[in-house]
Amino acid sequence: MRSPIHLCFLRMPAVALCLLALPAFAFADRDVIFHALPEDRTLFAVRAPSLSGALTAMEQGTQIGEAVSRDRLMRLIHGIVEQEEQQEFGGERFRRDLGILRDRSGLDYEDLFRIFDGPAGYARVVEPRDGGGTGPGLDVFWFEPGPELAEAGWKLWEAVWELSEDGRSERVRRIDSEVRGVRMSHVLEREIGRIVPPDFWDQPRDYWEWDWDKQREFDRERREEYEALPEAERGQRNTMLARIDGAFVIVHGHYSMPEPSRFGRHQRVHFEIDPDTGDIIERVQEREPEQAPEPPTGEQLDERSGVEQATALIARFVDSASGNTPRDGFVSRAAGSAAAREAEVGGAVIIEAYADLALVMAEAAEDDDEDHFRGGPFNLPPAEMHEQLGFSDLGIGGVRITLDGATVRTGAFVNLPAPRRGIMRLIEQAEIAPQPAAWVPATAPFYAHFSFKPLDLYEAMMEIVIATEGPDFEAFIEQQEEQMKQEMGFNQRDLAASLGERHHVVVWDIDPPQESRPWDDLGTRMGLVQSLVFGVERPEPIEGIMEYTMEMMAQFDPEHPGLSREQGFVGIRNEDDEDRPSGTFVGEGHLVVAAGKGAVETTLSAIRRGDGGGDSLSAADTTASALRQLDARPAVATAILNPAPLTADLHDKLKAMISGEANRRGHIGPALDGHVAEAWEPRPHQARGAEGQGSEDPRRKLLLELLPEATVFEDAFHTGAAQLHVDRSGLILRAVMPLAPRD
């Protein structure tokens, strides 16, 4: 059985929509909850100051805004509700329940946009532990509708609880209380499960040597034994709801006993250097099953699921709303950081998010520590691995997306102050001019170049390996490098040094064969025909590796064609995948790794042709406009996005996907109903749709009716640009995407 909140989502979709929507009108300048998030315990936070305001601005100021107009969304909501009311099973009850909820709360469909005039957000708050790691984690959802709609939201919650009474499990109970004079509902759900010994699901060592009948008999007996195992409380879910002045807050915490396999038999492979021969020796370390913890008591479940922390968090929000808590928590620290100030962009904020990356790494290490016999690379537990790699120096990161007239602007940052350690110091690369390479044509939908020295990566990784494995490993590395040098004339270090500093990524606009249907080309248009082009200073080591690879392959396949020589390049083709052929070629000062039909030929031809003159991306007026709007300057990386080729037939693509036609006719990937093309047979009503009669699926029919005209998508997106900079404070990314203004 499910909790009332789960029932709301599972049994009453439109009611769930109302519950999610219930709070966020006006008071956009307050953001009580967002600014009261605790400084040292917030993992990340996301906030939308005014969703309805952003949609209105898009609708009024941009051509593409017509796709998300208020009228269109309202028709979608009415259509969904109408479909639910007409369901043969459950439709009558849905109408009854929806009527009760509307009467009790006073909310109606039109309130949805008024509700979202104000701020709404989500955050993850954790409890740091002494000595590292994190404790209970809490999910915080908040909306700030103002007193009137917050009260309506509370009445809606009361009605949802009453309507779910006949379907509630006995393990779900509601505890009402007050926090600082504010009413709070605590919905508690205990999880019941079987207590499974750590090695219960382990198979005998010779299991895979048995015949099929013996395996099946073993599995059947084990399932019968599982059904006979005792049950006990093994987890708890807490959902706390509170109306705080003009805000509505939901805090959710959850704890469940670790899976028994975590305490079962494990193996770990690590490597050592033989002191006599200098060879690497593989060691297999095995741990026998250990005693799993006993099922927790009620008090332990409260503690581990964060009941006390959730109550204290709500109390903090109450204090903030009453002005008793300074608003100098996590958000102030994030937005006031040096990197955040460098990444500021103009315009009205659509959405912003911040993350404490140090806490994120601590939580990741907590999920996979050495206490549970999990080792990271270099035989280190995750916490030590993060230290060696330099991840522990990460500070707060964030992103802010704004609408500035008809231009979407993005500013993102990561606080990573100098001096940096481990691989983190590799972000310190030379800055290069923002103009694209002269050989890239103006028709390329996407282009990026970046500055990076592969030799720096090789040396950094070797330093980390030596620091963690000891001086014996340094001698082994030197021995391996010398041996390769004698055999091939170059070694791993020479190979890394042969690559230059400027590298490119290109997505090509290659027309599909005439016999292809437009929806078959969806994957191609979205970037499956692409090239990664490295600058090369010395081609000899790369050519040597290719020749060595071909010699090895010839030993297994004498008919292998060997190296391919095309357009002044030498390389290796891979035609095993007919739908996505690929190749790796070196020549003309570049190493090309290309994938997709026509990608190899197109890339080699473009590089060999050289300066495309007026037909090049660098000479295009649209590129100059995008770089000018970005105020571009030399940077570690620059990207140019030209969406026109990708969106030229976007209306047809959307129509094919919504109707299911893309899936029926060969589109690769899931369509609306989640089925995969190659393994999918259309149901009768969908087959009739393929014959031109239209889909009878009411969801599809509704979406097709609401799909904007093709003119809404034509030239809706102009050429955009992005740049990545590195300074002493960290990484700063800025991007612009101009949209076609509305006539």
User: What pLDDT score does 670 carry?
Assistant: 38
User: What pLDDT score does 251 carry?
Assistant: 96
Confidence of residue 105 (pLDDT cuts 50, 70, 90): confident
User: What pLDDT score does 511 carry?
Assistant: 59
Residue 7: pLDDT over 80: no
User: What pLDDT score does 665 carry?
Assistant: 44
- Percent of the chain residues topping a pLDDT of 90: 38
CA dihedral 341→342→346→349, nearest 10 degrees, is: -50
* Phi, psi values for residue 139, rounded to 5°: -100, 125
User: What pLDDT score does 632 carry?
Assistant: 96
User: What pLDDT score does 133 carry?
Assistant: 56
User: What pLDDT score does 697 carry?
Assistant: 76
Range in 276-280, 301-305, 403-407 the model is least confident about: 276-280
Q: Which residues are CB-neighbours of 453 under 8 A, at least 6 positions away?
A: 429, 499, 501
Q: What is the pLDDT of residues 682-741, one digit of tens each?
A: 444 444 444 444 446 788 888 888 888 888 888 889 999 999 999 999 999 999 999 999
Q: What is the pLDDT of residues 111-146, one digit of tens each?
A: 777 777 889 999 999 987 665 556 678 999 998 988
Paired strand residues for 417: none
CA distance 731 to 414: 5
Q: Count CB neighbours of 568 within 10 A.
A: 11
Q: DSSP character for 63? A: S
Mean pLDDT of 508-514: 62
Confidence of residue 285 (pLDDT cuts 50, 70, 90): low
**b or e along 448-458 (b: 16 or more beta carbons within 10 Å of the residue's beta carbon)?**
bbbbbbbbbee
User: What pLDDT score does 269 carry?
Assistant: 58
CA distance 449 to 637: 6
- For 712, the 3-state DSSP assignment is helix
* Phi, psi values for residue 39, rounded to 5°: -65, -45
Mean pLDDT of 428-449: 94
Q: What is the pLDDT of residues 545-580, one digit of tens each?
A: 999 888 888 888 777 778 899 999 999 998 877 778
Q: What is the pLDDT of residues 11-66, one digit of tens each?
A: 333 333 333 333 332 333 458 899 999 988 899 999 999 888 898 899 999 999 88
Mean pLDDT for the chain?
Answer: 81
**Helices and strands (DSSP H and E) totals, the chain:** 28, 22
Residue 584: pLDDT over 80: yes
Residue 363: pLDDT over 80: no
Residue 367: pLDDT over 70: no
Q: What is the pLDDT of residues 249-269, one digit of tens each?
A: 999 999 887 766 555 555 565
Q: Which residues are CB-neighbours of 238 under 8 A, at least 6 positions away?
A: 186, 187, 188, 189, 251, 252, 253, 254, 305, 306, 307, 310
Where do we find the tokens 């309507």?
163
